[in-house]
Amino acid sequence: MIMRYLYPKIVGFLHDDHSVYFDVKNIPGRNQSILIDCGNNNTLSVKDFIKLSAIFISHAHIDHFIGFDNVLRMNLRENKKILVIGPAPLSAMLHHKLRGYSWNLIYDSQLEFEVWDISRFFIKKYLFKCHEKFSKKHLIEKIPAKNPLIDNQYYSCSYTILKHDIPSIAYSLKEKDNIKIDKLNLSRLNLPEGQWLKKLKNKSFAKDEEITFNSTHYLMQDLYGKLIKIEKGLKISYVTDTVFTSALKKKITDFVKDSDELYCESTFLNKDIRLAKEYFHLTARQTALIAKEANVKKLYLIHLSSRYSNPCKLLEEAKTIFPRACFPNFPNKLAIRKKI
């Protein structure tokens, strides 16, 4: 059985501000979750909000950032730190949001936000503390911009910067591959279990390194091919709010290549390509072309313009180029409840 860590679901109704929520499972410790973008997220439950450990913002337009207040309110009494990542100057915008309220009765809250500003060459990290009434902006460090943004033993998260007149960031989450020993082949070769198998799994051996059992010499590289089974982890990518140019098409295609799931904006029909260019968005046809060339397994159309009374036209246009295009399973009711 393949070990899964990331369980995504769409946030928002059909014509709503769309985000993607990732339940993170099968890792030690407290439950975690990740939210990509922060639009109208009233379809999330209080439990969903409280589990949040990280938020990735594509850009700070209102339809991608207005839901942050729900995150703030639902977590005010939680003793935790939430990581917020997005394009610079996100920390300044977030600071204005946090300072826009009176905090005289929340003096004992231990809630903190660690905010990463991504620019072309650098990432600046800041800390905001609720018990300080979010008055101070603490600089943690400044590091060179790099991928992946997050890399642990369970999954990684990478990004690329697109163009929505302002920078807009696409994200890709990739589960780590499951590397296992083929016990059946191990038995057939009459080889013992032991610490050497850990070395084999980690591929931490020299190209010509040998190991000896019962006076027989085995090349580790050969044993790797016979005994190691690799189960590929899921790759889930999110692209929204970008103009379509030949250079950006290649950039996006390379970034989302071989994704198992691609959540991608399909804002306009191709007959309205003039509007797509004017407002820095993709058409359903352009999205499908990217999915096809990137060898994506499944394409989910999101960020649909409400100008179309029948959004199925967007899906039909995408399907003519990429038949595995579909709508995600949009929620059909509100889930959020007031939490004091």
Q: What are the structure tokens assigned to 337, written together?
A: 């409840």
Whether residues 106 and 135 share a domain: the answer is: yes
Task: Please indicate, yes or no, if residue 191 is contained in any of the structural domains.
Answer: yes
pTM, rounded to two decimals: 0.91
In this structure, the answer to whether residues 318 and 172 fall within a common structural domain is yes
**Residue 232 CB coordination number (10 Å):** 13
pLDDT of res. 6:
96
Per the domain annotation, does 163 fall within a domain? yes
Please count the residues of the chain: 340
In a domain, 74, yes or no: yes
Residue 34: closest CA among 309, 310, 238, 325? 238
Residue 331 lies in a domain: no
132 contact partners, CB below 8 Å, separation of at least 6: none
**Quick one: how far is CA 19 from the chain centroid?**
10
* Residue 56 sits in the same domain as residue 192: no
113, part of any domain: yes
Domain-terminating residue out of 197, 212, 231: 231
pLDDT in tens, the chain (340 residues): 667 999 999 999 998 999 999 999 998 877 799 999 999 999 999 999 999 999 999 999 999 999 999 999 999 999 999 999 999 999 999 999 999 999 988 878 999 999 999 999 999 999 999 999 999 999 999 999 999 999 999 999 999 999 999 999 999 999 999 888 988 998 888 899 989 999 988 889 988 999 998 888 999 999 999 999 988 999 999 999 999 999 999 999 999 999 999 999 999 999 999 999 999 999 999 999 999 999 999 999 999 999 999 999 999 999 999 999 999 999 988 787 655 4
The verdict on 218 and 315 lying in the same domain is: no
Kindly give, in sequence order, each residue whose CB lies less than 8 Å from that of residue 197, ignoring residues fewer than 6 positions away. Answer: 181, 227
Q: What does residue 216 show for φ and ψ, rounded to 5 degrees?
A: -105, 135
- 114 & 152 share domain: yes
- Are 136 and 246 members of one domain? yes
- The total of structural domains in the chain comes to 2
Count the alpha carbons within 13 Å of 21 in the hemisphere toward its beta carbon. 27
Instruction: For residue 222, tell me if it sits in a domain.
Output: yes
32 and 96 co-located in one domain: yes
Comparing C-alpha atoms, which of 122, 114, 61 is closest to residue 91? 114
336 lies in some domain: no
Helix H, strand E, coil C: the string for 104-129 is: CCCCCCCCEEEEEEECCCEEEEEEEE
**DSSP symbol at 283:** B
The strand pair at 166-175 and 235-239 is best described as antiparallel
| Residues sharing a CB contact under 8 Å with residue 244, sequence separation 6 or more, in sequence order | 276, 277, 282, 283, 286
Closest CA to 302 of 63, 85, 83, 86: 63
Residues 27 and 169 in one domain: yes
Q: What is the SS3 assignment for 20?
A: strand
Query: 246 and 212 in one domain?
Result: no
Give me 307's structure tokens: 């100008």
Whether residue 206 is found in the same domain as residue 257: no
Question: Which domain-ending residue is among 214, 231, 248?
Answer: 231
Same domain for 68 and 94? yes
Same domain, 73 and 212: no
140 phi/psi in degrees, rounded to 5:
-85, -55
Decide which of 186, 207, 231 is a domain's last residue: 231
CATH of the domain at 244: 3.60.15.10
**Structural domain for 182, as ranges:** 178-231
Q: What is the DSSP string of 134-145?
A: T---EEEEEEE-
Element (H, E) at 169: strand 166-175
Q: How many CB atoms lie within 10 A of CB 267?
A: 26
Q: CA nearest 263: which of 233, 303, 294?
A: 303
Burial of 249 per CB tally in 10 Å (0-12, 13-18, 19+): middle
Residue 255 burial class via C-beta count within 10 angstroms: exposed 0-12, middle 13-18, buried 19 and up:
buried
- Nearest alpha carbon to residue 71 among 107, 105, 108, 38: 38
Is 1 among the domain residues? no
